[in-house]
């Protein structure tokens, strides 16, 4: 980022290592759980865990490959040949390749006494794609896995060691991905200051506290009515997919791959808020919150009218109290964040008229710098106040170098 010092670059590199380690730790916990379920004769649970892992991995590899194929040929100078990259993605190693590539570029930048503008911009370009892929993996695999393991625990009435490990790694991965994605969006817009430590902690907490009641609601429904949870998800997912389609998203390189993005966003919206279009974010976020809250209340009414105890002998009132308390606390922290801790609350200068991406598109030497347009477009949708008069990426424009 502009004005980055060596300690700041080192910190970014450390965060990249920790993010990759968290992904591998969560993957290991899920595989451990699948093996334990299979050894215990619970083949359905093991199959569900592996199915979620497989579907999320395939989707993530598709996103990564489509983005690489859509980037300019000369953008990634030292990467392997396209056949090798295709093989890596076919072997489900595309995301890890991107992580290694990002860490290598970050190490290169940190080791330079005065990093060039191009190297800094390229490091940002890579980290933005990694943040987006991590967010997709979080809601396609980590959050459903967390819901599944909670449902299994609630239904059986006991929790094994590997299940507690899976719960902890899932919560860590979800919160990390949300915070990392939000901070990544801000690097695309120089008019938006980065989150401070205090703001980051509050942002981390309110996302966690608002997501937990939703996950708990679906998990309780799955534990009580395992035969109907798929119908519930499919019904809401189709409504959310229609909503995303009506907003006219334009994120992927072509129209056919855009549906992959819409399907993924609809899955994210089943659990949490995600803005995909221009306009007033607050209104759409309020509608989405009311929609999920209404659905969760309907689930609660269904539980109460059918049974007050879970199959494992746990009273529903206990879990409902915990979920309701988390929701109210998370909502309060969200209001506090946007009222007093949001970086825009401390601005003394008006918003600039132009938004050019992570930094100026031309280096001091006059050559062009990489710009991650897909993330810049999302950032401008997420922060609509900088949209007016901004230099936005044109529809159908090639991602990479302007």
- The predicted-structure confidence for 173-184, as pLDDT tens digits, reads as follows 887 788 788 777
- 358: its two tokens: 């992570």
Report the pLDDT averaged over residues 101-125. Answer: 86
Residue 347: the pLDDT is 53
Rounded to an integer, the average pLDDT of 138-154 is 92
pLDDT at 337: 83
Alpha-carbon gap, residue 82 to 347, rounded angstroms: 45
User: Rg (Cα) of the chain, in Å, rounded?
Assistant: 22
Beta carbons of 324 and 213 less than 8 angstroms apart: yes
Tokens of 180: 């990392």
Residues with Cβ < 8 Å from 290, sequence gap 6 or more? none
**Which position has the higher pLDDT, 143 or 177?**
143
Residues 33-51 pLDDT 10s: 999 999 999 999 999 999 9
More confident position, 280 or 134: 134
How confident is the model over 39-67, as a mean pLDDT? 94
The answer on pLDDT for 310 being more than 90 is: no
Q: What pLDDT does 338 receive?
A: 77
Q: Which residues, 6 or more positions from 187, have their beta carbon under 8 angstroms from its beta carbon?
A: 1, 124, 127, 128, 194, 358
- The pLDDT assigned to 375 comes to 67
- Identify which has the larger pLDDT, 258 or 337: 258
pLDDT, average across residues 314-327 = 81
**Phi, then psi, of 309 in degrees rounded to 5:** -130, 145
User: Diameter of the chain by CA atoms?
Assistant: 70
Distance CA(213)–CA(225), nearest Å, equals 18
pLDDT of residue 314: 65
71: left (phi over 0), alpha (psi -120 to 50) or beta: beta
pLDDT at 178: 80
Question: Which carries the bigger pLDDT value, residue 271 or residue 198?
Answer: 271
Mean pLDDT on 345-372: 46
Residue 92 DSSP one-character state: T
pLDDT for 221-240, tens place per residue?
A: 888 888 899 999 999 999 99
pLDDT, tens digit (0-9, with 9 covering 90-100), for 291-304 = 999 999 898 888 77
pLDDT of residue 79: 74
Mean pLDDT to the nearest integer, 375-400: 52
Residue with tokens 């205090």: 198
Mean pLDDT of 316-336: 86
Q: What is the mean pLDDT of residues 51-78?
A: 88
Query: Can you give the pTM of this predicted structure?
Result: 0.84
């Amino acid at each position: 980022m502009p004005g980055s010092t060596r300690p700041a670059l080192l910190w970014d590199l450390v965060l990249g290592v920790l993010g990759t380690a968290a992904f591998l730790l969560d993957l290991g916990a899920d595989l451990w759980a699948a093996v334990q379920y299979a050894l215990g004769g619970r083949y359905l649970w093991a199959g569900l865990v592996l199915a979620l892992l497989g579907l999320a991995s395939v989707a993530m590899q598709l996103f990564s490959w489509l983005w690489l194929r859509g980037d300019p040929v000369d953008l990634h100078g030292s990467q392997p040949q396209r056949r090798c990259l295709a093989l890596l993605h076919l072997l489900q190693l595309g995301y890890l390749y991107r992580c290694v590539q990002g860490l290598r570029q970050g190490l290169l930048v940190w080791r330079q006494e005065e990093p060039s503008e191009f190297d800094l911009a390229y490091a940002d370009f890579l980290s933005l794609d990694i943040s987006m892929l991590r967010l997709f993996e979080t809601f396609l695999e980590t959050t459903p896995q967390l819901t599944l393991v909670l449902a299994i625990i609630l239904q059986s009435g006991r929790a094994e060691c590997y299940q507690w490990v899976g719960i902890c790694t899932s919560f860590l991965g979800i919160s990390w991905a949300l915070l990392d994605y939000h901070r990544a969006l801000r690097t695309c817009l120089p008019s938006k200051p980065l989150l401070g430590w205090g703001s980051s902690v509050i942002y981390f907490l309110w996302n966690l506290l608002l997501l937990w009641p939703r996950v708990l609601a679906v998990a309780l429904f799955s534990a009580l009515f395992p035969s109907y949870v798929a119908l519930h998800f499919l019904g809401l997912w189709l409504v959310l997919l229609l909503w995303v389609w009506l907003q006219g998203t334009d994120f992927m390189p072509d129209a056919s791959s855009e549906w992959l993005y819409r399907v993924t966003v609809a899955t994210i919206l089943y659990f949490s808020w995600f803005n995909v279009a221009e306009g007033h974010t607050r209104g759409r976020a309020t509608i989405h919150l009311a929609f999920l809250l209404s659905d969760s209340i309907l689930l609660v009414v269904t539980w109460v009218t059918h049974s007050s105890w879970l199959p494992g002998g746990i009273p529903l009132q206990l879990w409902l109290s915990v979920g309701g308390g988390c929701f109210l606390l998370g909502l309060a922290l969200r209001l506090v964040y946007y009222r007093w801790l949001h970086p825009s609350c401390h601005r003394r200068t008006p918003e600039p008229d132009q938004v050019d991406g992570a930094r100026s598109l031309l280096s001091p030497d006059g050559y062009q710098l990489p710009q991650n347009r897909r993330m810049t477009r999302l950032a401008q949708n997420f922060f609509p106040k900088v949209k007016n008069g901004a230099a936005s990426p044109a529809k159908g424009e090639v991602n990479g170098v302007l």
